[in-house]
Structure 1
């Protein structure tokens, strides 16, 4: 039996395969997309977005650029880095529980040759992502290259289970479902400490900087609250869409979470081998090639206009539609069912707790009927939050709740992105991410380094 895949991907494929130019099923959903805020933590419905018709279709742009293959499609992180004149190294990192991660170290570039003693920055990607995600924005604008040009060395991590980090000392990711028995808790207590130690060892720095997006920030909160010694190894952290408390999320995953709830792993896991496969597997099963999600037929069916909006809200002015084939070449990557289930638990309980296995197993594991909450007050690293108005995964109300659970003064600044349509994925894909976010991040890191010297 072919494995089941994430619900939204199946919906997209159905749209692509059923619709054609004469089909009565052709549609455009964007003007009326409304994901209700379920009455768990907040009762109000999110208002629909009203934009000019000029922003509601991408079919002409995609049709014109359909056959112009982006040079980074099909390349691995080190190949992308090299193609723009930057130097990199590949490092394997083994966690305490046997997972083998691939981490890319960018040591220098045209404006800053490799040299010892550079400040090191650890980049941690989001859910369904990998190290390529930080390079989706053009080479003159993306954050890793900006930092390397400014004299930093950059480390792009890959969490356990994604296509770069499928190794394990004893388990086979293809045949052993036990391999996939992890969520972002295990990434926080396993992956993050191991990568931090690797960076410190190789770079020679006593302390390093940390930048994360989405689930990468979740791992940060887990790591520093559960492994207190990490607080002494980080100079500062910049969190793009800090995802801890998520009770106000209005993302479609919230609806999936309500549907399957805490039973997601038990119900779906045995069928899927406890994993959700990457897009290339979906393409293989359904006979789709890269770019098929953005053909003129697909856009007529509303896919181009609606896939990213359905997941992350609509920001047409900041969406590079001609680069969508590159986006879908890199996203989504693999993720364990348990990871998705853990996020669903956070949304449904309005808490930030360890994984809920049910009362009996909770007692066996934790000694309590309910899983323990993460102690965010244990975090002492100077931290900076970036949030945005149209982020339907990390809403500002939840950012405030997260802030209130941390020690006073630890969060040095809470920065709103100055664009009212900026959404969750814009942090890694927006046309103007450099001027809206990255330049400020560079300024923060420069100030932090100057003060620490």
Structure 2
């Protein structure tokens, strides 16, 4: 939903914004900014299949497949307001390209609610608020198992390797805790910028966590359940502004890099329009609330609905914590000292509580931030050697 605006009013608001600011969205964008995942893969010479995966609770997810050696399937999962595009937009130097070139059978997932997964068997995301009643909990319980099983059924393999970025790792911890039978289906989880605990965030990321309850209340009052979606007014405006020449200072340095960690060397001005044409890609208000509760409450627990509803849902005044002791899949944690969203102290806390951490790495490049794992222009130098070493040792 878009703050209660009808399509006509939404278009009028966008037109007015463009007229006042003298801006046009996508006037001279580079080709990669205009292409979707399949278009990018095709441009860079990769065969790409599109699979629809239906979850137990009716969501229809888009899963991209770059065929390779079926005995070496690898699943890539993106972060909270992202999509599969994030792993392909660097083209020839992207992680998808690197894995495919090395012969892996590459599968790139999409979580419910993003640009590729706004579908359901019975619910309309533009009409039914129930569509947006999810957080990373439901993604872990339904999206991830359906995706994993689809891949294993197609490859005939009993297990796969996984690479997650940011909240793309959180869902594996929840899956291993709540559905422990899936631990045996993961050969190795390579966790890039692991997000679980948010105890040690620094400004401005900490300020976002602290301000979210107020923002959440405003969104609730406005009837807004979809946030950062491509069809929302605020994202139309953001993409209009941030794809213009001269927008780097505001959009990159004061927005993306301020939160992720300052590292402009890896996100050059010429690449920003490509990034902002694909990102953000949308999620639910509830998803943002649940994630940021982990920082506010210094916990890793299920959604806190307040005492009254918690008693109904959990038969307890507080939501139950996820039991990381049940997450027995092999996990490799790759962190960065300059990560503004995944602090080293929080990653070390996660490391201490997961029972099967096979490797813990802090990237040698001291300025690596939260986004360099997927968008960094030189990731082949400072990141991919670690990824391939882990896949060769544990991925079979």
Q: Report the TM-score, using the length of structure 1 for normalisation.
A: 0.79
Within the candidate set 280, 283, 295, 2:244 is matched to: 295
Q: CA deviation at 1:273?
A: 2.9
Distance 1:107 1:270, change over 3 A: farther
Distance 2:153 2:197 in 1: 33
Please list, as runs of the form range in 1=range in 2, the aligned pairs for 1:240-279 lying within 5 A after superposition.
240-250=192-202, 252-261=204-213, 265-279=216-230
* CA offsets 1:104-129 (integer angstroms, 9 cap, x no match): 01104xxxxxx5x3310111001110
- SS in structure 1 at match of 2:190: strand
* CA offsets 1:228-261 (integer angstroms, 9 cap, x no match): 1101111111000111111112253432332243
Distance 1:137 1:252, change over 3 A: same
Distance 1:413 1:179, change over 3 A: same
Q: CA deviation at 1:284?
A: 7.6
- SS in structure 1 at match of 2:111: coil
Distance 1:375 1:320, change over 3 A: same
Which of structure 1's runs of 4+ aligned residues deviate more than 6 A?
A: 15-20
Distance 1:289 1:215 in 2: 23
Q: CA deviation at 1:377?
A: 0.7
Please list, as runs of the form range in 1=range in 2, the aligned pairs for 1:325-364 lying within 5 A after superposition.
325-364=273-312
Maintained 8 Å contact 2:304/2:319: yes
Partner of 2:186: 234
Partner of 1:388: 336
Within the candidate set 315, 318, 330, 1:367 is matched to: 315
RMSD: 2.5
- SS in structure 2 at match of 1:119: strand
Distance 1:100 1:303 in 2: 32
Maintained 8 Å contact 1:2/1:285: no
Maintained 8 Å contact 2:60/2:121: yes
- SS in structure 2 at match of 1:72: helix
Q: Report the TM-score, using the length of structure 2 for normalisation.
A: 0.90
- SS in structure 2 at match of 1:82: helix
Distance 2:124 2:322 in 1: 31
Distance 1:432 1:187 in 2: 31
Distance 2:27 2:283 in 1: 30
Distance 1:138 1:395 in 2: 29
Partner of 2:163: 211
Distance 1:68 1:404, change over 3 A: same
Q: CA deviation at 1:439?
A: 2.1
Distance 1:229 1:270, change over 3 A: farther
Distance 2:221 2:95 in 1: 39
Maintained 8 Å contact 1:142/1:438: no
Q: CA deviation at 1:264?
A: 5.4
* CA offsets 1:193-218 (integer angstroms, 9 cap, x no match): 11000000011111111110011111
- SS in structure 2 at match of 1:118: strand
Q: CA deviation at 1:331?
A: 0.6
Q: CA deviation at 1:278?
A: 2.6
Partner of 2:79: 126
Maintained 8 Å contact 2:112/2:139: yes
Distance 2:73 2:183 in 1: 16
Maintained 8 Å contact 2:137/2:174: yes
Distance 1:118 1:81, change over 3 A: farther
- Please tell me whether Structure 1 or Structure 2 has the larger radius of gyration of its CA atoms: 1
Distance 1:168 1:243, change over 3 A: same
Partner of 2:359: 413
Aligned residues: 382
Maintained 8 Å contact 2:100/2:106: yes
Q: CA deviation at 1:279?
A: 4.5
Are residues 1:323 and 2:271 paired? yes
